[in-house]
Structure 1
Amino acid sequence: MVEREVFLSTLIWIFSLTIARSHERESLFKVLICKTCAISTAKAHAPISKALIMATLIGSGMKVSGARTVPFVNRILFPFGFPRLLEVLCAVCLLFVFRQLERQMSSRKFVAYVAVSQAATEALQYSLARTTGYRYQSGPYGIIFSLLVLFHFEVPVLSKFPVFEYDVVSDKSFIYMAALQLSVYSGFRSASVSCIATFVGLLLTSRSVGGFASSG
């Protein structure tokens, strides 16, 4: 299982780097390093994002080890748990990047967005399970993929890299690749809940329904 996770992850990330011509890779790495440094050295602390990352790590550790604590803690943390290492890595990396959204929106607005998106995704999952026999998929998919929608609309592209003479790869493409990998890893269940969460994110960010925005 571990070998398959490493193989899938390596294929996607190495392919994304090798499609750019050799003389362009240096600038690609510089952009990635600059974005990481900018995120990590920002003045805001993003406490909600840090709490989500910790909940994902602890919940995943509990799920993998089969550990149990008091029922109240289990009920809070187990929905944040992933059963596989690659899913945990992708989720934590995405949540780390999405900290910049909290800094743009303010923690109060960010936690409202996160709570509504996760609750709506859970409700739709439950309805789907009751009507079709769909098996519930654990993990904070509702949070991650609704934030991915917000990330797409609110965070600008800083740089693009030509691939076969076309500017189709940007610094945001690596985030989308990680999200794609997370969405397909558990097959139909992860793909379906990812689509549900993306739909919820589109509703929440829609201006026609008074959606969330990072400005204002």
Structure 2
Amino acid sequence: MAILSLQYRAFDGFERALIEPNPRFDRRIIYQNEKANVQALKEPRPSWGIAYRRGKAGLVDKTVEARCIYQVRESLEELAARLAAPRLTTADLVTLDRLKAEMEQAATVNDFDAHLNLHREFRFTIYRAAGRRRLMQLIAQLWDLSARYRRFQLYAFPERVHTSLFETQAILDACHRRDPEALACMVRYKVHQTVVSLLDVMRREMTTMVLKHGNRQ
């Protein structure tokens, strides 16, 4: 729950500052009285193999952590998308079109690593248009924290990559219309669908682990 506490403090305490940037904003304020939480974010998290060896508690902890990270991502990325929509340039749209085409090519040959990298650049091309540096820093931090979950989900649930392309196209269409509400809605929906399918995979893994090792406990 340390991750949840820190990230919600970051969002709830500074949402207004993100919309109206304050040059005196100091990221250290986020960490006030949260030294243990800061250390939790800095330390590398255990691998999936370690979690399995620690038993059900390890996987439950990762399920909670994933849910917390993605809940905060939904709110922050929705905000970034709404701010970015009217500020997208023609050059941004050309870049987004190119990245979408390259994502489709990567999906066709099941190159998941390339798809993940292209998807990140696609989304951050949008968020950079918002012109909110602190907001971008928070989103980038959360993407880094959730990177292993995205990779795990995609390799465990490969059909998700093809479904996600329809969502990406809807995001791209909203970008071309420069529609703040449509873009914000689609971005939030996509993040939400990602965590829904991720948690489904994790629950299946937990069920498999319980069935396999239950008799040994």
TM-score higher than 0.5 here? no
* Structure richer in strand, relative to its length: 1
- Normalising by structure 2, what TM-score? 0.32
- Structure 1 or 2: more helix by fraction: 2
Tell me which of the two structures has the higher relative contact order, counting C-alpha pairs closer than 8 angstroms and 6 or more residues apart: 2
